[in-house]
Structure 1
Amino acid sequence: MAQRFLSLSLIFPPSLLVVFFLILDLLLSESVLTNLLSNQTDKLALLEFKSLINYQTVGALASWNDSTPLCQWVGVTCGLKHQRVTSLNLFDQMLVGTISPNIGNLSFLHSLNLGTNSFYGEIPLEVGRLIRLRDLILTNNFLQGQIPVNLSQCTNLINLALDNNRLEGPIPFELGSLSRLVTFSLYHNNLTGKIPTSIGNLSALQVFIIANNNLEGEIPDAISQMTSLKDFQVGVNKFSGPFPPLYNLSSLITLTLPFIIFYGKLRVDMGFLLPNL
């Protein structure tokens, strides 16, 4: 460092060097301040989340207080560089309450797992603002309302699991734009309508589970485009029509179609075309 300072002093007059280092110090201070303020944004968002948890179950979040650093709170993981919240994992914490819209302020969040609790109410639209989100796990709760259309804005989603809730309405057509999606599971809800044809755009999808709903109509031909599919479970719905075009899905390992009325004949070479079943 001394050698660098000496080299600079030979090029620039001392007065300019003083100004240079003052500016450098100011920039570094502003960077630290920005990180602190951003960290505070995450903290306030999580405290708002905590405020909507039933007081009898909030004990699991006892560490969420001013005396404990944010990144040491139960269920919270922060990035090493910027100390922003990147993961919130409160799986099976016996929490009761609604999901705060302020969850959408956790702009660096990569993973949100609130599975196996007793959250009720609707999935906040603000979740759609989490553009870095890769995993959204809300299974085994009592969530109601429709699947937010703007989840399609979470373009980095890899795993979307909303099983075992009370969600209703259609599967949004817009979710067919989630090109990185690997797991899409909506098992055991009250969903209605048809499988959107946009589902065929999910070429990376390996797990598609929509069993135990009230979906109807034919299974679209677009399913045949999902060539990475390994697990396809659509039983206990109101589907009808010809047997779905699954013969080129050679990666299929699990196929369940109970309580569905299909017509037509199965191909005699089905066992050769689907060798992993």
Structure 2
Amino acid sequence: MLPSFNHLKGGENMPKVNQPFRGIVMSRKPFRERDLLVKILTDARGPVMFFVRGAQRKGFKMAADILPFTRGEYVGLLSDEGLSYIVSAGETHQWQGIVADLDANAYATYLLDLVNQAFNEGRGIGGWFKQVEAALDQMNAGKDPQIITNVLEVQLLPFFGVAPVWDRCVICGRQQGTLDYSESYGGMLCFEHYELDEHRLRLDQRVVGYLKFFAQLNLQTVGEINVKPAVKKQLSWALDKIYDDQVGLRLKSKRFIQSMDQWSQSLQLARNEAVDNQESLDQTEELRH
């Protein structure tokens, strides 16, 4: 079973005292000459922006604790309005596997951007902290970053006001047989109702099965998820289309992943062409002899 993903309310009338919290460093940017603004996903308050004084100075004692893709224990002043402040850091660890791998880094960056957009700053996020932490743990361990990200893309849709029905026909409730996704109807249509939407996505049934599976998947308990390349490609296409058309969210980090994919495809085409040219040259040489 998934953990409770209730968007719990919090932050109202909380005392302004130093509080311990678990956090995941989502992003950071320079502020003035020596300081940083660091966005951290906290276990109790969701995404929170922290002002860290002197963080750009050489020898800053918490420099390693506020690096991107770091998680750990912190103490800080969590403000209801305006910036919050980190007072100290306890045990922290950076996901080195994510930092070192370009694909994992790109998908992790996009995933954290998506989480930042999904949840209001300063409000509790229920079981989502552990779900995001588990996703990053799996990416760090070398698991497929696209599939892990696709899982959370499916599960985050309701927080953007889009709650697709994945497991049955939205018209008659049929669960058996072939299903296909309709953006117009906000969920699956069975084959008897395909004619209601000529623009349905025409998804491979393996893709339909994964979308249904991902909607209920707890990443804290799952092992390896192996998906064939053709299915992965259509999964990515379908979710990109839903986020573009129904959510209207076009993040820079997602565009970077798409440009990486295009570059990879171009490189593969160039390699295939080089192999074909070499084979053609070899055949020509054989004919000459």
Q: Name the TM-score, length of structure 2 as normaliser.
A: 0.25
The structure in which a higher percent of residues are helix is: 2
Higher relative contact order, structure no. (Cα contacts within 8 Å, ≥ 6 residues apart): 2
TM-score (normalizing by structure 1): 0.25
- Greater Rg by CA: 1
